[in-house]
Amino acid sequence: MQAQIQSEAIPREKADYFRVPGAHLYTVSHRVPDPLARVLLIGPFASERHFSYHPWVRWARYLATRRIEVLRYDYRGVGESTGVFEEMSFKTWSEDVELLVDSLSSRLPLVLHGLELGAILAARAFSLGAGDALLLWSPPQDANQALRAILRRWAGLEQLFESVENRKSASEYIRLLEQGTSIEVQGYRWTSHLWRESFHFDLPPTDEAAAQQHRRPVKLVRFGRNQASGITPYLHRDEIKDIDWLYSSSFDWVSQVLAPSAGEVNERVN
Amino acid sequence: MSESIESRELIELVSREGVLRGTCHMPSSKGPMPSIARDRLGVLFLNGLPATRAGHGDAAVYWAESLARLGYPAFRVDLPGYGDSCGDPPPEALSSINRGGYKSIVLALVRELVERFKLSGVVFVGHCAGAVTAIYTAASTRECRGLVLIDPYFYLPQQSDRSLRKRLIVWTMQSRFGRAASTLYRFLKMTRLRLNGLESFKNANLPLLARWKEAASSGMPILILKAAPRRNTDTPSQIHEFADIGYALELAGRKSHVAAKVIVGAHHSFANELARTAVQQNIEGWLEASFQQGMNAPAPALKKTGPACTTNPEVLLP
């Protein structure tokens, strides 16, 4: 696979709506002439979306300039997609991934790439047979772990601004959810149903043994504290993050496992 | 795949910087008021950082949809370096915005929107840093018919050690002595402000205040929405809360049509449901009051409904 930037062929980005039951997903495809492979980017949970948006877009552009076609999208009920957030479930968002995978032609090798909660969505679709390789950035063990992390960060920040009598800790919000009350986190209403479902929405096995079983390559990247500042909320969010190390190492892996010269999908496992 | 659905259309605008991407919410013919009644007055949303055109918690989507239902074509566009538009944010993005760095881009964007969608003019709705861009641009184009400024600020961030600042905040929150010191600090700042005006502060954004004066004194209808302070709301020091807004209201002059409202329970992001609804209702009411007789009719004068005196958020920080 050629890794040099195709400056003579500028990738074309195209935003569209993709119809799913009861809503439209907002998608952006990064099209390239004569692509070598395709990556479906599955982003983080709703409230993390705008914090990670720019590094995510830059990653899509990084791949596209290296002849990898990219499709990214907003979850149903989030961002530019239509639908009502509080009516959604992890099942709905899994369905979105399946429908998008089905819509992509099988002509090109497909990498499913998920970030945080998106990593669970990607891994679950992969375990059902979708995609030729799986790349996971910072996957939680289950959706509840992702929600708890978001809630802790948000509640911690809220305490700085809130008056003493109105301050609530993350555990108090969790108690409300467990009592059946919905709560609002950064403009999104989390229902107790979503919370309960999150315990059972776990990451399928992604270790080497599982990859051998799927006979398709899997790569998992966990971030250190400093590395995570590239896509983690609230950390120096007004600065441009330098996470080229992450882009280049991930791209190297993609280019190795999906090298077209091999004639078929490489079974190499990192 | 489709570029438009029932009420939304994805748009691309080519600027000198590259392609800008946005979403247009068109008024529905089934809505309560036909679009023709609005004289094709468009509403352009300018987001704060680091939000995409959807805004924090997708609040901008909510507001744009509600305005489109009322008959106003509403546009949300990612500025260069943000969302799906071209490029990276400028180095020192906030400083660049505070100097009016996006003005020329928004001017071009407005011209393009007015021409392409045959609008009679545009109202800017800017949040935080987006409000700063809105003020800079409003003073430079006749296409701008009104301003909605959500949590605007008229100061420049102070260059200080982040970790020291964080330690100071924690100290003033947790220690009795720290709280007293914070109150005294605010009092002294406020006294200085009352005696000498905002210009006496080294962090006052003077070019922005000049553009503000220009826009406001022209009689352009302006609505300011400010989140009420959530901390220590029962202390007298809270009258200092929004000094720069109070000063800006005075600076606007007698001919101005500026309305200011404080929204209790709103977060700065205005993403929470209460704030979202309050913003929607206030903008809708203000649009109706300011433009109900058509674009050529003078907007009715609105009373300043905000606090008589408020404080610079930068001053407020302990």
Residue B302, phi then psi, degrees to nearest 5: -115, 145
As a CATH number, domain A2-139+204-269 is 3.40.50.1820
In angstroms, rounded to a whole number, what is the distance separating the alpha carbons of residues A70 and A254?
Answer: 13
Let me know: does A54 contact B89? Beta carbons within 8 Å. Answer: yes
- Average pLDDT over every residue of B298-307: 38
Contacts of B56 in chain A (CB under 8 A): 50, 186-187
> Buried b vs exposed e over A229-248: b needs ≥16 C-beta within 10 Å?
bbbbbeeeeeebbebeebbe
| A193 has a pLDDT exceeding 80 | yes
CB distance A19–B51 less than 8 Å?
Answer: no
Distance from CA of B165 to the nearest CA of A (A): 13
CA distance A192 to chain B (A): 18
Complex prediction ipTM: 0.88
Which of B119-123, B180-184, B299-303 has the highest average model confidence (pLDDT)? B119-123
Is A235 near chain B, with CB under 8 Å?
no
Return the structure tokens found at B41: 């007055």
Q: How far from A33 is each of A62, A254, B19, B150, CA to CA, in Å?
A: 15, 18, 19, 43
Sequence spans of domains, chain A: 2-139+204-269, 143-202
Confidence band, pLDDT 50/70/90 cuts, at residue B312: very low
Which chain A residues are within 8 Å of B91, Cβ to Cβ?
240
B213: burial class by Cβ within 10 Å (0-12, 13-18, 19+)? middle
When mean pLDDT is compared across A146-160, A184-198, A233-247, B53-67, the lowest value belongs to A233-247
Q: Are B312 and B226 in contact (CB under 8 A)?
A: no
Q: What is the pLDDT of residue B307?
A: 35
- Is a pLDDT exceeding 70 seen at residue A10? no
A242 interface with B at CB cutoff 8 Å: no
In B, which residues are within 8 Å of A16 by CB distance?
1-3, 10
Task: Give the model's pLDDT for residue B110.
Answer: 96
Chain A, window 12-41: residues with a beta carbon less than 8 angstroms from a chain B beta carbon: 13, 15-19, 24, 27-28
Q: What percent of chain B shows pLDDT beyond 70?
A: 75
Best A31, A49, A50 residue to mutate vs chain B (most B CBs within 10 Å): A50
Put simply, the answer to whether B233 touches A163 (Cβ < 8 Å) is yes
Residue-wise pLDDT for B210-264, tens only, equals: 999 999 999 999 999 998 876 654 443 343 445 677 788 888 888 899 999 988 8
Amino acid, res. A59: W
**Per-residue pLDDT tens digits for B25-84:** 998 766 555 544 457 899 999 998 877 999 999 999 999 999 999 999 999 999 999 999
Give the pLDDT band (50/70/90) at residue B199: low
Which residue from A minimizes the CA distance to B81? A54
Whole-angstrom Cα distance, residue A129 to residue A132?
Answer: 8
Q: How far is A206 from chain B (nearest CA, A)?
A: 31
Q: How confident is the model at residue A265 (pLDDT cuts 50, 70, 90)?
A: very low
